[in-house]
Amino acid sequence: MNTVLAAFVAAASCAGMAQAQTGMQASLPVPVLSLDQAVEAAGGAAPAAQAATSAIAAARAERIVAGLRPNPIAQGQVENIAGTGPYSGLESAETTVGVAIPIELGGKRGARVAVANAQISRAELHAAIVAADVRLQVTQLYVEAIAAERRLSTARDQVRIASDALRAASVRVQAGRASPLEEQRANVAKVNADANAERTARLAEAARANLARRIGVSITGALDVALLDRLPAAIIGPTAMVDAAGTLALAAADADLAVADAGVRLARANRVPDLNVGPALRRFEATNDTAAVFSVSIPIPIFNNGRAVVAQAHAQRTQAEALRRVTALDVEQAITDAQAEAANAAITARAAAGPALAAAQEAARIARIGYREGKFGQLDLLDAERTLAETRLAAIDALANYQNAQARLGRLTAPVSMPTTGGNQ
């Protein structure tokens, strides 16, 4: 008996512990995937980021190659053979074996290293640009996902409101206070609300799937829906202009100009001919003697003196400088337009999500009360509900537009922050 009682007590304790654990799990907050977490996850999964990292590794390997000296050349030569008379055999052969060592003149090695260093900086800058682009893309997908969830919530509210209106119309018709036409209208509104909720749910699911596919992580928790409501304080007066200097877009043009400058230096250095010097050892077959030989050779720049290459490098440098000025103008114009777009989007969002939405909600509330009390007709109620739904959707769109405009402005004004290159090693 005691054994059975102990077993019951143990079972009850286990059941109580299981229920307590289940209650604790149910009370735990749902994990929220923030925008920064999504951006961080996308950075490791983005193919463009992986390609940019590989480009940096290739540029650093090219820097190592640029700093290497030319390889020596092994030379061999046999003279005075296969001739006539005493030179018909190998008795009079002279065999020379030596090494030719190229000596670079004109600072070619330093010029090559300068080009490689500039290319490393350009590759690292490109990686920073890719990271900024990834952040913009993830932000846009994240904003679309939370906006889709907000639209789905609004659509479900409309289903609930339409259901309430249908029940109210049915009561009025059964009481003989309204025409059956009112019930039919309410039924049509309910059917349309159900269909709209189904469509909106499918779009919300697709938006979440697109975000998950982009960041490479399955999204099982909630998203930071409150991000949509974060608006800046009202700005009075003109917006302060942002200088394009120090932004990623302009830094890329500066890096291209630095590569072109290094290319001009390399082209000039390559005009200087290199020396080939080296010792050799010559053996005389007839006397079995040996002698040292020292050779010096230098190319004669007659047909290709390097002027065309220098002219080409100068033209590319001029092109890079002109493109840098064009980029500066384009970036400043794009920043100005983005600032105006973000400011206007904030004004629209603040109005749509504030006074306009409050007025639409109050009008719908009054229409519902008046319809239940028989003071307003059904058409007034449907019009107020339709206006409220449209205002809610307009507020969601305005908030999403502001967040996207702010993300585009952040991409244009993203500052340069790159790791120190290995070019100075």
Q: Which two tokens stand for residue 399?
A: 């908030």
pLDDT for 259 equals: 95
DSSP letter at 74 equals E
pLDDT for 378 equals: 74
1 domain-assigned: no
7 domain-assigned: no
240 domain-assigned: yes
Q: Is the overall model pTM greater than 0.85, yes or no?
A: no
pLDDT for 284 equals: 85
Residue 347's domain spans which residues? 31-69+104-271+306-412
State the distance between the two ends of the chain, measured CA to CA, in whole angstroms.
Answer: 84
pLDDT for 31 equals: 82
236 domain-assigned: yes
Q: How far apart are CA 144 and CA 147, in angstroms?
A: 5
Q: What CATH number should be reported for the domain holding residue 361?
A: 1.20.1600.10
388 domain-assigned: yes
- Per DSSP, the three-state class of 275 is strand
Q: Which two tokens stand for residue 181?
A: 């036409």
Strands 222-223 and 32-33: parallel
pLDDT for 199 equals: 96
In contact, 315 and 263? CB cutoff 8 Å:
no
> Could you write out the DSSP letters of every residue in 343-366?
HHHHHHHHHIIIIIHHHHHHHHHH
pLDDT for 118 equals: 95
Give the model confidence (pLDDT) of 202-225 as tens digits.
999 999 999 999 998 888 889 998
264 domain-assigned: yes
**10-residue stretch averages of pLDDT, the chain, 425 residues long:** 38 43 49 89 83 93 93 89 77 87 92 95 93 93 95 91 84 78 86 93 95 89 88 65 80 93 94 90 85 89 90 95 93 90 89 87 86 76 84 91 92 73 40
Query: How many structural domains are present in the chain?
Result: 1
300 domain-assigned: no
In contact, 33 and 222? CB cutoff 8 Å:
yes
140 domain-assigned: yes
pLDDT for 241 equals: 65
Q: Rounded to 5 degrees, what angle do the CA atoms 116, 122, 125 make?
A: 145
pLDDT for 256 equals: 94
